[in-house]
Structure formats: structure tokens, C-alpha cells
Structure 1
Amino acid sequence: MPGIAPHREQLMSTLLVIDDDRLHCDLLQVALARHGYQVSTATGGREGVVLFRQLRPVVTLLDLRMPEMDGLAVLKEIRTLDPRAGVIMLGGGATEELENHARKLRVTDFFRKGLSLDVLIGAVHRAAQQAKRDASASESRAGEDREHTPEEQILVVDDDVMARELLVRFLSLRGYRVRAAKDGREALRLVEESAPDLLILDLAMPEMNGVELLRALAARDYAGRTIILSGHQNDPLLADAWALGPQEVLDKPLDLERTLMAVQLVMVCREC
């Protein structure tokens, strides 16, 4: 195929194509293999998630509309497994609402089906190069964080399993010891076992919300720092939470880089 020659760093980069249209999978596999990529395919969302876990591709090309498990559901799973993975979504007939939803999930790029292969392959090249730069930077930061903060412990408390697992993985890769609790009662038990240096706490939880947990911890003389997670700034619990002295409040959905900066700042202030 004329247009774009493979670069040396692209050779043997693993790609994954997830599309219920077998013909489209085969077309992309052949086209991308000609540019030096190693391409695997899946014709369903669940199969695609399994392959993503196994292969950890540098870029995934993902169809939006698929039966049983659509592209947005697959993208959520991918983000849980790898917050920085390159994902290009192909959204034939997508509405603006669906595209915005995909961008909120930090899709790398979004295209309508039917675009030229040269345009798509160019986007794959860019996403692959960016993913490699991100991976290299993450490894470097993780090494620095492990060097400076090997003993710092964080407890993530959130009833949203996706948000909870995302934070645990993201912060663990940066050298922190991270535990997780699905609700306030489990968090109290974990704090009693070993008090964390930092609590990352969702406000809106059933049975025992974030404010109630902070009050219970205050009664137990918890001396660690706290970062609050809130779905919106007009949350009625937020004023009560501020009164209990958290160090930071972060909005959901989380910006992971901002979250990391907040964690680092809180830890530095704790040492001061």
C-alpha cells in the first residue's frame, strides 16, 4: 500500500483489532501488517478484553457498535487494565453523545468508519509512538517514586469498582503501597489493621458515606491525610467534608495526572 513506510520503532509493535465484522478485521490486519505491526483480531467485545489482557497491545482499534458488549463497555475495561493504553475507536453511525462518552473515557482518537486507510494508519503510528513515550515516562516516574516513597501507604475507598481498581493500579505502578475498600465499614477495618498515610475517599457511598467515615476516623484519632473524591462541586456532602479538614478535593471523573500531583503534594506536606 503506498503512502506510509514503516518506521524502525514500529516493527513488531503489537496491535489489537476488535470488530464484529470479520471482513473489516481481516482488511485492517493485512493493511497494518504491511506497515510492520503484529496484528491480532477479535470479533467480539468479550474476546477482545481477554486478548487485551494477554497481549497488552500498544494500540487497540475498537469498533463502537458490537452485539453483547459494545465498544464503550470494552473501552471501560481497557481503561481499568491500563489507563494509558492507546485506543482508536471506529464509530460508524455514532451520535455526538456516544463520541463525547468515548472521549470522557479518554479514547486516544475517534473516527467514523469509511475513512481512508492512509489516515487511519497515520493515526495508528501516532498513537503507537505516544503510547511508547508514555510507557517510558511512566517507568521513569515509577522508578523515581519507588526510590523516594517506598513506605508510603494509601487506602482507596470507593464503591465504584472501576474507579477503585483504576486508582489502585495507577498508584501502585508509581511505587505506592495501595489497598482498597469498597465501603466505609471495610475501610474502618483496614485502618484499624494498619493506618494509611493517605486516604483517597469517595463522598457518595451507600450505608456509610465519606463524611460519616471521616467522623468515625476522627473519633479513632486517625492522623493521616485525606483526599476527597466528589462527583460535582454542589454535592451537599462537600461542605460537611471540608469542615473535617481534607487536604484536597478532586472531581470525578478523575484526571489521573492531576490525581498523582495531588497525592505527591499531600505526601510532601505530610513530611513537612
Structure 2
Amino acid sequence: MTTLLVIDDDRLHCDLLQVALSRHGYRVSTATSGREGVALFRQLRPVVTLLDLRMPEMDGLAVLKEIRTYDPRAGVIILGGGATEELENLARKLRVTDFFRKGLSLDVLVGAVHRIAQQARREASGTQDVTASEIDQPSEEQILVVDDDVMARDLLMRFLSLRGYRVRGAKDGREALRMIEESAPDLLILDLVMPEMNGVELLKVLATREYAGRTIILSGHQNDPLLEDAWALGPQEVLDKPLDLERALMAIQLVMVCREC
């Protein structure tokens, strides 16, 4: 089994990546500091290390330097939330294998891990060529955003599209229902208050049709009278409007990872 190492001072992010990557057949260890990460790297010799750029005491670049002195060819992906171009260039000079902004789709990140692990296996076996069928490509996750607020809907759709998700939008429950019948999404992000058919009404219809996807509810008020009815229909999460996009992304990633929980 291929060994991976996640080094990130954010325990929640470590746990999220550990669950996601373990489900793709990897053995995943985690460290919540740079020093702990270097020690585990020396002990485990992981095929791929996923490394947070910004950590206290010993940041990602310092860890990368230590890794390179120990193994110049090790696969290392840096997760550089808020990184400047200068920091990214420094990482490239240290021969980082790949550099991603934090907040991308987990499918994109898993795909990068697959490619690096495949390359390491080819080098170890002396094989240079590989066919597309030999690489386990993750499926693209599809999201349907349902909100009658055009600006809010379009903003969320663009935000998620830039992070590798396939995103569609609907202006109300009736339009969403038609789109779900055409192609059911993995995740439904659903505003509660809408004309024509509100979020609760749509969830009730979907319950009769055995919709198998996950659901995140958007609510403008915690005391919204529809919210209690919505919770009774089994959504995985409720997010407050206006959305904090980064918090929303973390919730989306957790819901998608735990869709088999």
C-alpha cells in the first residue's frame, strides 16, 4: 500500500485529507507541525508528502528544504493558501513536485497524488510509459446550486468551478427538480426561501424519489420557520447567508468526503 504523509498545523484539514485519501487505497499518516513532519518523513519515507506552506515555528519551505536534503526525488505537494508568487517561486526552486492553492476540489488534489504515485512506481520498476487506463482517475464531483438570488448563485458557482467542481445552477425548486431528473448531482446546495417551490418543498419531493446525493441548506436566519422543517428532512449541513466562501468550501469538502459515512 502506498504511503502518504500530510503535514499541516490545521488538525481538521489533516483529518479531512486522511479520510479522503485513505478511501482511494492509500496509507495516510499526519503531522501537525513541521518538526513532527520531518521526523515522520525520515521514519516513513512516504511516496507523496502533502505540505502546508504556512505553519508556525517551521514553515512549509523549511520542511521542504529538510526533505530535499534527505531525499532529492521525493514527491512533495505544497498547499499554499494565500501564497505570494515569490513564495511559490521559492518552492519551485526547491523542486517541489506540485504547488496548489488551498481550497481546490479534493478530486483535483487526489488526481495529483495519483499521478505522482504512478510516476514513482514507474521509476521504481524502470518503466517509462503508462497508459491512461493504468491511472486511477477520480470521478469529477458535480454540484447543483439552487438560489433565486442571481448574484449569490453566480458567485458561489464561479468560486466552486475555479476549484475543480462541475457546477450547475437553478433559480428555484422547480427548475432544480428538472435538472436533478436529467442528471442527479453529488451535492445539492439549496436556499430555503425561494418563489415557486421553496427548499423544503423540493426536499420533500426528492425524498419520495429516493434522491441519493448530499444536501447543504442555505438559510438567512437561524430562526427561519422553514429551518426546523428542513432539518427534519435530513440535510448534512446548514450554512448561514451571506456565505463565508472559505467556510462553505470546508463544509462542502467534509460533506463530500463523508458521503459514505
Q: TM-score, normalised by structure 1?
A: 0.48
Aligned to 2:217: 228
Q: 1:147 aligns with which of 102, 105, 109?
A: 109
- The answer on whether the counterparts of 2:103 and 2:249 sit within 8 Å (CA) in structure 1 is no
Once residues 214 and 188 of structure 1 are traced to their aligned partners in structure 2, the CA distance between those partners, rounded to angstroms, is: 10
Q: Which residue of 2 aligns with 1:247?
A: 236
Match of 1:93 in 2: none
Letter in 1 for 2:104: A
Q: Alpha-carbon deviation of 1:151?
A: 1.3
The number of equivalent residue pairs is 142
Asked if 1:207 corresponds to 2:169, the answer is no
* Structure 2 Cα separation of the partners of residues 150 and 132 of structure 1: 31
Offset, 1:132: 4.5
The separation in 2 between residues aligned to 1:138 and 1:204, in whole angstroms, is: 36
RMSD, aligned α-carbons? 2.3
Q: Following TM superposition, by how much is the alpha carbon of 1:217 offset from its aligned partner in structure 2, in angstroms?
A: 0.9
Q: CA deviation at 1:219?
A: 1.2
Residues 1:175 and 2:164 are matched in the alignment: yes
The answer to whether the 8 A contact 1:150-1:175 is kept is no
- CA distance, structure 2, for counterparts of residue 209 and residue 143 of structure 1: 28
Deviations 1:87-141 (A, max 9, x none): xxxxxxxxxxxxxxxxxxxxxxxxxxxxxxxxxxxxxxxxxxx6847xx787454
SS in 2 for 1:142: coil
| Secondary structure of the corresponding residue to residue 250 of structure 1 | strand
Q: Residues 143 and 209 of structure 1: is their aligned pair in 2 closer, same or farther, counting only changes over 3 Å?
A: closer
Q: Distance in 2 between matches of 1:162 and 1:132?
A: 29
- Look up the equivalent residue of 2:189 and give its one-letter code: I
Contact residue 150 and residue 177 of structure 1 kept, 8 A: no
- Matched residues in 2 for 1:235 and 1:143: separation? 31
Q: Decide whether aligned partners of structure 1 residues 174 and 217 sit closer, same or farther in structure 2, where only a CA change above 3 A counts.
A: same
| Aligned-pair CA distance for 1:147 | 3.4
Q: 1:163 aligns with which of 152, 159, 180?
A: 152
Partner of 2:4: none
Provide the residue aligned with 1:6 in structure 2: none
User: What is the TM-score with the length of structure 2 in the denominator?
Assistant: 0.50
The amino acid of 1:164's aligned partner reads R
1:251-270 aligned within 5 A? 251-270=240-259
> 1: CA distance between counterparts of 2:150 and 2:105?
27
Q: Distance in 2 between matches of 1:143 and 1:223?
A: 21
Misfit runs of 4+, over 4 Å? 130-133
Deviation at 1:142, TM superposition (A): 2.7
**For the residues of structure 1 that align with 2:227 and 2:161, how far apart are their CA atoms?**
28
Whole-angstrom CA distance in 2 between matches of 1:138 and 1:254: 23
> Following the alignment from structure 2 to structure 1, what is the Cα–Cα distance between the partners of residues 106 and 185?
21
Q: 1:196 to 1:163 in 2, by over 3 A?
A: same
Question: What's the offset of the Cα at 1:271?
Answer: 3.8
Give ranges in structure 2 of 5+ residues lacking alignment: 1-81, 89-98, 111-137
| Mapped partners of 2:220, 2:193: distance in 1 | 8
Identity of aligned pairs, percent?
Answer: 79
> Any conservation in 2 of the 1:154–1:197 contact (CA below 8 Å)?
yes
Letter paired with 1:270: R
Shift of 1:152: 0.9
- Alpha carbons 1:227, 1:249 under 8 Å: kept: yes
Residue 224 of structure 1, CA deviation: 0.7
C-alpha separation in 1, matches of 2:172 and 2:105: 31
Whole-angstrom CA distance in 2 between matches of 1:188 and 1:237: 19
